[in-house]
Chain A
Amino acid sequence: MGPFLRDAWLVAERDLRIEARSRVVLHQVVPFSVLVLVLFGFALDADHRTLRTFAPGLFWVAVLLSALLAVQRSAALDRADGTDTALRMSGLSPVALFLGRATAVFVQVVALQVVLVGGLLVLYDVAVEDPLLLVVAGLVAGVAVAAAGTLYGALASGLGVRETLLPILLLPVLAPVLIGATRAFDDALGAAAVDGWSWTGLLAVAALVLTVVGASAHGALVED
Chain B
Amino acid sequence: MGTTTGTAAGTRDTTGSPRSRLLGVVTLLAVAVLGVLAFVLTDPDVRIHPTTGEEFGQFDAVRMLYVHVPLAVMTYLAYGICAVASVGVLVKRTPWWDVTAHAAAEVGTVFCGLVLVTGSIWGRPVWNTWWEWGDVRLMTTLVLFLMFTGYLALRRTTDDPRRQARRAAVVALVAVLDIPLVNRSVEWWENRTLHQRSTIGELKIEDLTLFTLFFGFVTAGLVLAWLLLHRFRVGWLEQAALDHGVAAAIAERHAETDDAEVLRSVGERAAGEGTSGDGEPGS
Chain A residues near B (Cβ < 8 Å): 148, 151, 155, 158-161, 165, 168-169, 171-173, 175-176, 179-180, 183, 198-199, 202, 205-206, 209-210, 213, 217, 220-221
Query: Could you name 18 residue pairs across A and B whose Cβ atoms are closer than 8 Å?
Result: A155-B154, A155-B170, A158-B163, A160-B158, A161-B157, A168-B153, A169-B154, A172-B147, A172-B150, A173-B147, A176-B178, A202-B181, A202-B185, A202-B188, A213-B177, A217-B173, A220-B166, A220-B169
**Quick one: given A159-B157, A159-B159, are A221 and B167 in contact (CB under 8 Å)?**
yes
Query: In the complex, what distance in Å separates the CA atom of A175 from the CA atom of B163?
Result: 27
Contact B175 A176, beta carbon cutoff 8 Å? no
A209 pairs with B149, CB closer than 8 A: no
A199 touches B90 (CB 8 A): no
CA distance A199 to B185 in the complex (A): 8
Chain B residues closer than 8 Å to A213, beta-carbon distance: 173-174, 177
Q: A213-B177, A220-B90 are in contact. Are A155 and B167 (CB under 8 A)?
A: yes
Q: With a CB–CB cut-off of 8 A, which chain B residues contact A169?
A: 147, 150, 153-154, 171
Verify B188–A198 contact, CB threshold 8 A.
yes
Nearest residue in A to B144 (C-beta to C-beta)?
A: A172
Q: Which residues of B contact A (CB under 8 A)?
A: 90, 143, 146-147, 149-150, 153-154, 157-159, 163, 166-167, 169-171, 173-175, 177-178, 181-182, 184-186, 188-189
Which residues of B are found within 8 Å of A199, using beta-carbon distances? 188
Q: Is there contact, CB below 8 Å, between A179 and B186?
A: yes
Task: List residues of chain B with CB within 8 A of the CB of A160.
Answer: 157-158
Main secondary structure of the interface of A (DSSP, over half): helix
Whole-angstrom CA separation of A163 from B110 in the bound complex = 26
> Residue of B at shortest CB range from A157?
B167
Chain B contact residues: helix, strand, loop or mixed: helix
Contacts A168-B149, A175-B143 hold; do A205 and B174 have CB atoms under 8 A apart?
Answer: no
Closest residue of chain A to B182 (Cβ to Cβ) is: A176
Q: Which B residue's beta carbon lies closest to that of A217?
A: B170
Q: Which residues of A contact B184 (CB under 8 A)?
A: 176, 202
Given A160-B157, A173-B147, A175-B143, is A206 in contact with B181 using a C-beta cutoff of 8 Å? yes
* Complex interface: chain A residues within 8 A of B177 (CB): 209, 213
A182 nearest CB neighbor, chain B only:
B189
Q: Are A165 and B147 in contact (CB under 8 A)?
A: no
Give Cα A179 to B143, complex, Å: 12
Contacts of B178 in A (CB 8 A): 172-173, 175-176, 209
B153 x A176 contact (CB < 8 A): no
Of A169, A171, A210, A217, the most chain B CB neighbours within 10 A belong to A169
The 6 closest A-B pairs by CB, nearest first: A176-B185, A176-B181, A172-B146, A169-B150, A179-B185, A168-B150
Q: How far is the CA of A151 from the CA of B178 in the complex (A)?
A: 14
Given contacts A165-B150, A171-B146, 11 further A-B contacts (CB under 8 A): A148-B174, A155-B167, A169-B150, A175-B178, A202-B185, A206-B181, A209-B181, A217-B170, A217-B173, A220-B90, A220-B166
